[in-house]
A and B are shown apart, each in its own frame.
Chain A
Amino acid sequence: MNFSGRNDAASANMKPIQVKLVLLGESAVGKSSIVLRFVNNEYQDNKEPTIGAAFLTQRCKLDDRIIKFEIWDTAGQERFHSLAPMYYRNAQAAVIVYDITKPASLEKAKTWVKELQRQANPNIVIALVGNKIDLANNRSVPYEEAEAYANENGLLFFEASAKTGTNIIEVFTELAKKIPYEQILANNKTLNSRTNGQGDNGRVNLNESENNNQDGGQCNC
């Protein structure tokens, strides 16, 4: 897989497939830091708490497809929970994050998994991510425990670190590989014919504006 900015010559005239991705998890587990690492390859100690939600995009190339991730980074505190369905409805992918030094954050992650399984798009692809492995000295969630849980529930599983960058790209790459694109395209086709009364060769036609605001936006893996 190949992540690339929009200046990539080969991809310049390809229409990207939009993939809506949502990040969920307890406050301060590192959701915003993971997004920042993925989108800008940056890291900030003491990342400010997210209020409500933040929105970012990243374009990637997977095989012969261009994917535009629309990333919704949510606020972790319980009372923002009522806003969450707005972000995860219609999402094709979810990254549920916990902190490997905080067992309670895995419990919270499990409740998110349940909520998504119950209420989100049934084809949603979910990755469970144990963040902050740079703090392995303070680990209190064993790798095997979380992995077993992920396997039981059909989730992708990673341990990662936004701080060092370990495994961050991998999370998004593996997610991107598992997304049922044919289905998205088919859905969009129906949607388009509903909207315009005509099909459109299966192309995503919801948002084609090319005035993408990403500057940087480049990463190769």
Chain B
Amino acid sequence: MNIVDEDLVDVDLDDDSDYEDANQIDNYENINDNDCFFEIPLVEHSNIPFEVKDEDNIDYDKYGFKKSYKYIPKVRQEEYENYYQRILERREQKWNVLLEECNGEFPPMSSKLKRYIRKGIPGYIRSLCWFYYSGAKTEMENNPGLYEKLLNYERNERNKGLTKKDSTGLDCVYAVEKDLFRTFPDNKYFAVSESILTMNDNEENSTLPNKKFYINPYIGSLRNILVAFVYYSLPKSENGYEGTCYTIGYCQSLNYIAGLLLLIFAQSNEKMFKNNPTSIEEMCFWMFATLIDKILPKEMYGVNDMEGAVIEQELLWNLIIDENGRKFGVRKVAKWKKDMEKKNNIMNGMDDVPETHNLTKLGILTFKWMTTCFVGILPIETVLRIWDCVFAEEGYITILRVTLTLLRIYENDISKNDDELEGWDFINIYGDLF
């Protein structure tokens, strides 16, 4: 596995020639006009107009998340934002030149493009870039109408009078619904009012999804994406489509990933999301399906006890202790891990507990980093930069690299703590700090 990318060790922000102002907007519209979008708005979006309201005295970032000044003071954050804004503008100009050179088409992959992607895809074109380079666009074009069909699976099951007790699909849908209002409650687009929250739950055997999930269009679209994925990823024997290579249905943490995809796609295609949310949902759905089924390791979210995610932790920790941590510059973490293991073995040996569940406590933390792809762990802008690499070309290895890097950055803090629990506690707090 090539964790260190020899290709790109030397990344320099000032490496390109002059630029001209390209008309990026053209390019963007061209792609949107693609004829594979649906005409029929199939979604149960409510007719009640939904107002996004800013709360008084609260600052929001450009993605609609409430800002917190708990760890980093406002001035410092603003200083940084100003600094970063200049970088963003610069990157945007560079990208414009690049796209201009390719007549508004996305250029084929090259080490130059890879470098560009690593330095961050400009916001205005991010969603389309992800969509194109991840292969999601091809997936969608190869499966016209499937998204719509998948959404009807739920309707069909309900019409047959099935409930969550006798349908795996509806049981997963129920699990999805439990997490809908709990996804980004701090984001102004996903926030819902008390009156929606307290609306009654559906009758068990209702043939239609509960209306309360469709009052806020973001929540409604999130529901659709996750429900479509439930049926996409269930086997035929359970009334599913068997679109993924293993059974998933729904797994907590997928709500965060689908939610962030939706936020980014809806934000950069605002008009379209208003007029035809289904088309945005469909793109998000294929992004999501491509990520889970093609980019991330197998069984990461599977019903099979998330075996893949657990295996990934073992793999990660093997990389860490490899050559006593010298390989990836995490010597202190490696030593700490060994000490903890020794201690645990003594304890477990005494308690006669079988060592079947071998994740270290720090392993549970990295488990969370990996299964959420860092949503809610790192600041949003950082997550997007990581996702740039994940979606456009480099894939899952990015997640592993970032995980190793975080452990490396915090290795002093981790190893300072001589008890595994304290180490965990510390990292948890640092997680908030980002």
Listed in ascending order, the chain A residues whose CB lies under 8 Å from chain B are 27-28, 44-55, 57, 70, 75-77, 79-83, 85-86, 89-90, 121, 190-191, 194-195, 206-207, 209, 211, 213
Question: What would 6 more interface pairs be, CB under 8 Å, given A27-B175, A28-B182, A83-B359?
Answer: A45-B197, A52-B368, A86-B364, A206-B419, A207-B422, A209-B418
CA distance in complex: A44, B197 (Å): 13
Distance in Å: Cβ of A26 to nearest Cβ of chain B: 9
CB-based contact A90/B347 at 8 Å: yes
A83 B368 Cβ-Cβ under 8 A: no
A79 and B419: CB pair below 8 A? no
Residues of B within 8 A of A83 (CB): 310, 357, 359, 364, 367
| Shortest beta-carbon distance from B65 to chain A in Å | 13
Partner of B306 from A28, A70, A82 at Cβ < 8 Å: A82
DSSP class of A's interface residues: helix, strand, loop or mixed?
loop
Give the CA-CA distance A191 to B350 in the complex, in Å.
8
A75 touches which of B252, B347, B422 (Cβ 8 Å): B252
> In chain B, residues 282-335, which have Cβ atoms closer than 8 Å to a Cβ of chain A?
301-306, 310
- Which A residues are in CB contact (< 8 Å) with B372? 51
- Bound Cα distance A44, B181 (Å): 12
Pick 23 A–B contacts, CB within 8 A, sort by A. Answer: A27-B178, A28-B178, A46-B192, A46-B197, A48-B182, A48-B376, A49-B178, A52-B364, A55-B361, A55-B425, A55-B428, A77-B175, A80-B252, A83-B310, A83-B357, A83-B364, A85-B357, A86-B359, A89-B351, A121-B351, A190-B350, A194-B350, A211-B422
Q: Decide yes or no: A209 and B302 within 8 Å by CB, A46-B182, A51-B252, A55-B361 being known contacts.
A: no
Give Cα A93 to B359, complex, Å.
21
Contacts of B364 in A (CB 8 A): 52-53, 83, 86
Given A27-B252, A86-B359, A49-B353 contact (CB < 8 Å): no
Closest to B192 in A: A46
B residues in contact with A195, CB < 8 Å: 343, 346
Q: Enumerate B367-393 residues with CB–CB distance to A below 8 Å.
A: 367-368, 371-372, 376
CB < 8 Å neighbour of A46 from B185, B417, B424? B185
> Which of B192, B419, B425 has the most chain A CB within a 10 Å cutoff?
B425
Q: Which chain B residue has the least Cβ–Cβ distance from A209?
A: B422
Chain B residue with Cβ nearest A89:
B353
B251 x A77 contact (CB < 8 A): yes
Q: Residues of B with Cβ closer than 8 Å to A?
A: 175, 178-179, 181-183, 185, 192, 194, 197, 251-253, 255, 301-306, 310, 343, 346-348, 350-351, 353, 356-357, 359, 361, 364-365, 367-368, 371-372, 376, 417-419, 421-422, 424-426, 428-429
Partner of B419, one of A47, A51, A53, A207: A207
Nearest Cβ in chain A — how far from B311, in angstroms? 12
- Considering the chains assembled together, what is the distance between the CA atoms of A85 and B306 in angstroms? 15
Complex CA gap A89/B359 in Å reads 13
Chain A residues with CB under 8 Å of B428's CB are 54-55
Q: Which residues of B contact A47 (CB under 8 A)?
A: 182
* A77 to chain B: closest residue by CB: B252
B346/A213 in contact, CB under 8 A: no
Output the nearest chain A residue to B425 by Cβ-Cβ distance.
Answer: A213
CB-nearest residue of chain A to B185: A46
Q: How far is the CB of B21 from chain A (nearest CB, A)?
A: 42
- Which B residues are CB-close (under 8 A) to A80? 252, 306
Tell me the bound Cα distance from A213 to B419 in angstroms. Answer: 14
Residue of B nearest to A75 (CB): B252
**B244 smallest CB distance to A (angstroms):** 15
Decide: A82 near B359, CB < 8 A? Known: A27-B175, A51-B252, A55-B421: no
- Chain A residue at minimal CB-CB distance from B419: A207
Is A82 touching B417 in the complex (CB atoms < 8 A)? no
- Chain B nearest CB from A43 CB (Å) reads 13
Which of B182, B350, B425 touches A57 (beta carbons < 8 Å)? B425
Nearest B residue to A44, CB-CB? B185
A53: chain B residues at CB < 8 Å are: 364
Contact (A51, B357) CB under 8 Å given A46-B185, A213-B425: no
Distance in angstroms between the alpha carbons of A28 and B252 in the assembled complex:
11
